[in-house]
Structure 1
Amino acid sequence: MSIKLTAVALGVTLAFGAASGAMAANNATIYQNGWGNDSSIEQYGNINATATVNTYGNMNDNVVVQQDTMATTATINTNWGNNNDNYISQRDVTGSSATVYQAASFSDVVIEQGGTTSTVGGGCNWFGCWPGHPVTVDGTNQVAAVNQLSGWGHDAYIGQTGHNVTGTINQSGHKNEAVILQRGTGGDPDSAIITQSGGHNKASVDQYGKGLNATVLQQGSYNVATVTQRNSGQNASVTQVGNFNKANVVQH
């Protein structure tokens, strides 16, 4: 899994800085046609906001950051070209969705959804100062989807923290890697689905929480599937059609 994308995302975010504002419905769209382009959409404190990025070309970096949002949507479409990096971050979100579509090769996708951590309770008086304590606000009702249906050599990662979250990765081609990491914090079910067609692909699902559901479907040869589930209410299904495949399911 490439780590270059995380650095790119952080660099773009720091370059533009974080903003804040009143809850409002905002819409942002970026269209780029060419090579070596960078794009960034940042939305803070929004309701029913949408962020859409459409790119055509090679070696483009696309970043969408949404924070303190409700019922928001982020979409990145990489219609053709190779070596594109796409990053979506949704923090402290409720009822939000993130979708990435790629029709190329050697592209990376990272989607992160979850809560935020802040410090409360600290302060000072005449007698001195005392530290605060961290408080985490969980994300709820999150949907993340990655579709890499053309090309090969893709990396896709979905990380979700909260409850009632769903992550889906669809890949076709060979030498692709898909990872879904979910940390459930409530009693609502969490679902992870990975579908791969082709050879020499890798699929990994790691879940912690209650009411866990993991599904992996691989068609082709020399594929590897790994599912790890912790806590309670676990359901795992791995289906492999082809030759010389490996599957491992661990439930705690």
Structure 2
Amino acid sequence: MTPAIHFTASHAASAQEAWAALTARYGQARLDQAELVVALGGDGFMLQTLHATQGLGLPVYGMNRGTVGFLMNAYAETGLPERLAQAEETVINPLRMRADCTDGTRHEALAINEVSLLRQGPQAAKLRIHVDGRLRMEELVCDGALVATPAGSTAYNYSAHGPILPINAEVLALTAIAPFRPRRWRGALLPKAAQVEVEVIHPERRPVMADADSRSFRDVVRVRIGSATEIRHRLLFDPGHGLDERLLREQFV
């Protein structure tokens, strides 16, 4: 029996074509009546879908109509009810970011992959890092720094030479982006419950922006980052192709 599915798709032509084919075959449930969501697109669209549906408690099954598709399953028009019935669920928690800016405003955002701080201008950023209220690094001179979840550890974090984290690991990755001083500092592994505060040194001369899953805020002076454990995103994967397997596989390529 086919569950009540709400299909959603990115603007890409391949995703729109898949949406038309799948809704014609399986129907289209209203979001408030759906048992689950099927997202058609790439990883960026999956993040958008998770953010958009986070208050509904619905599991989300992705089908790749993008490029990498790390958070997605393979696309096929047939056999979807059977795949959904056999799918394995992974629950992930996002990060919550609170950013204070030079104009006195405060902004909050959630990030499923990572929260990053990035230099805005030609000069390197200078950052001071506190963990759970304790000063851990007086000055990090760098292009930026990020805090990544296990689910996001293969994204920007991995490109910045951060570690890949097992999906069930109760840790976060704190990773420097192109560090100049300390030159050999490669970051740290933090408990999932850790509260990270990053202070921007000389924000007027070395401006920094903060980004949470592509929601960006310029001219920040202080950013607080911690796990939002009260928010649960439910992802569905085909058996043997879940996030734990993908994270492990990425370390051997």
| Bin of the TM-score, shorter chain as denominator length | under 0.3
What TM-score do you get using the length of structure 1 for normalisation?
Answer: 0.25
Normalized per residue, which structure has more helix?
2
Normalized per residue, which structure has more strand?
1
What TM-score do you get using the length of structure 2 for normalisation?
Answer: 0.25
Q: Which has the higher contact order (CA 8 A, sep 6+)?
A: 2
